[in-house]
Structure 1
Amino acid sequence: MRVNGIILAGGRSSRMGRDKALLELGGRPILVHLIDRVGRLIGDQGRIAIACGSLERAGQYKRIYQEAQSAGSRSAEEILWVTDRNNGEGPLAGLHAALSVLPEGYAFTTACDMPFLSVSLFDRELKAAVRSGADAVHAHDQPLHALYHSRVAVRLGELLEREERRFMSALRMMRSELVEPCGEQERRAFMNMNTPVDYERLLSEME
């Protein structure tokens, strides 16, 4: 089953004080690192959409990716650099924008501040999606490192029209299948970086 990929990168990064997507990890921006990781997870047949928020940021991210991408990585033209219908509506708007342009089917969804992806957890989420056909496959109270089916884009659009922007509220309206993480490696997939302290801690752990 072909799976597409979404990276939510349109946030304000207010607590970090600078754009989280452009923080360096292993000498490259985290966004570039994640594009490669998501690409390996979903395989060559899947498309990747970056939910950038604004048109200005979409152009910036595309240029930075072109400068920092690895040999053999997807070209910037193969990636969908997506803008929100109304900028500033949060991650739910980014998910809606990305699902709206991707081919029909499931999309693995993560955020630019979640640098650790779990292959084993993704595999179990994918098996659960095939088995259940659910709208969303995710861990309890975790809306990301999850699979969403493109059919929920219409419902998300309706919620945004009603100015409902809470991710977990939207998730509770979907038919979900829960897959709980097993072991430290899978739980680490939900680690995110909100503050400079989080980022420094991550760097120290990687030394």
Structure 2
Amino acid sequence: MPPRVTGYVLAGGRSSRMGQDKALLQIDGETLLARAVAKLRDICGDVYILGAYPAYADFAPLAPDLHPDCGPMSGLEAALAHCPSDWALVLPVDLPCLPVALLREWIEAALSSSTTRLALFTVDGIPQPTVALLHRAVLPYLAASIARGRYKLYPVLREAAAALTAEQGVAEDAVLADTVVADDAGWFRNVNTPEEFAAVQAATASERE
């Protein structure tokens, strides 16, 4: 993967529905955080963790939020503000089944266009804005949204795409690469509750048999 892509694990959530820090839960003896970091290292030259919990620094360097308590928007803003390259790849810690091969193919397709500034997934008709490939040009729109107290990520990213479309004078789908996926394999299963985690553990064990 070109060095202009830097990887970030979105791991700063409160895990309130899980009842414990989900980033440190283990599948096959490996924490979800270590699993996410390893995937990004397969793709990106440099990898960081979005968050400020000292225990996370054992896995990769930290990139703390500039504006805490604004949800995932805080993390994406922090990634782009910190990013030393043109592009930030953000991967949530709670998607342990997402394959590296899918991410690599998706990124290569997005970067093949000189006009693309955002790449996202839509899975079974539902946008997944926390899995994001973002150009540094998106940062001002995230910062402005946070300043206005608007923290819903997907609408803000669509607005950023519309503004960048007007700026470049191209079609919106030339700026926003929205990859539509039917998740028959369960790649985008979230781990937010004990029940969801147990289901992922069972599916992973079944795949080994």
Query: Alignment identity in percent?
Result: 30
Counterparts of 2:100 and 2:139 in 1: how far apart (Å)? 26
Residue type of the partner of 1:49?
Y
AA paired with 1:197? E
Cα distance change, pair 120–33 in 1 and its aligned pair in 2 (3 A): closer
**Structure 1 residue 124 and structure 2 residue 93: aligned?**
no
Deviation for aligned residue 1:50:
1.0
Q: Please tell me the root mean square deviation across aligned C-alpha atoms, in Å.
A: 1.8
Cα offset for 1:29?
Answer: 1.4
Cα contact 2:118–2:132 (8 A) shared by 1: yes
Query: 1: CA distance between counterparts of 2:88 and 2:191?
Result: 23
Q: 1:124 to 1:112 in 2, by over 3 A?
A: closer
The counterpart of 1:60, out of the listed 55, 60, 84, is: 55
Choose from 85, 93, 97 the match for 2:74.
93
Aligned to 2:187: 189
CA drift at 1:195 = 0.6
How far is the alpha carbon of 1:137 from its aligned partner? 0.8
Instruction: Find 1:145's aligned residue among 124, 131, 136.
Output: 131
Distance 2:100 2:114 in 1: 20
1:160-179 alignment runs, 5 A limit: 160-175=146-161, 176-179=176-179
Correspondent of 1:21 among 20, 23, 28: 23
Gap change, CA 1:202 and 1:166, over 3 Å in 2? same
Instruction: After TM superposition, give the deviation of residue 183 of structure 1 in Å.
Output: 6.5
1:135 maps to what in 2?
117
Greater CA drift, 148-157 or 128-137: 128-137
Asked if structure 2 preserves the Cα contact closer than 8 Å seen for 1:125 and 1:138, the reply is no
TM-score by length of 1: 0.81
Residue 82 (structure 1) aligned with residue 60 (structure 2): no
Deviation at 1:132, TM superposition (A): 4.9
Displacement after TM superposition at 1:14 (Å): 0.8
Aligned residues: 184
With 124-133 and 162-171 compared, the bigger mean Cα shift is at: 124-133
Q: Could you say what secondary structure the match of 1:178 adopts? A: strand
Whether contact under 8 Å (1:5, 1:49) holds in the other structure is yes
TM (norm. structure 2) is 0.81
Structure 2 alignment gaps of length 5 or more = 162-175
Render the CA deviation track for 1:84-108: whole Å, top value 9, x for unaligned: 1222111110110111111231222
Q: Deviations over 1:5-55 (max 9, x none)?
A: 11111111111111111111111211011101111022xxx2212111xx3
Equivalent in the alignment of 1:113: 94
Q: Which amino acid aligns with 1:137?
A: A
Q: Is the 8 A contact 1:5 1:48 kept in 2?
A: yes
Q: Quick check: 2:65–2:75 contact (8 Å CA) kept in 1? A: yes
Alignment correspondent of 2:50: 51
**Do the aligned partners of residues 126 and 145 (structure 1) sit closer, same or farther apart at CA in structure 2, a change above 3 Å counting?**
farther
| Unaligned residue ranges in structure 1 (runs of 5+) | 66-75
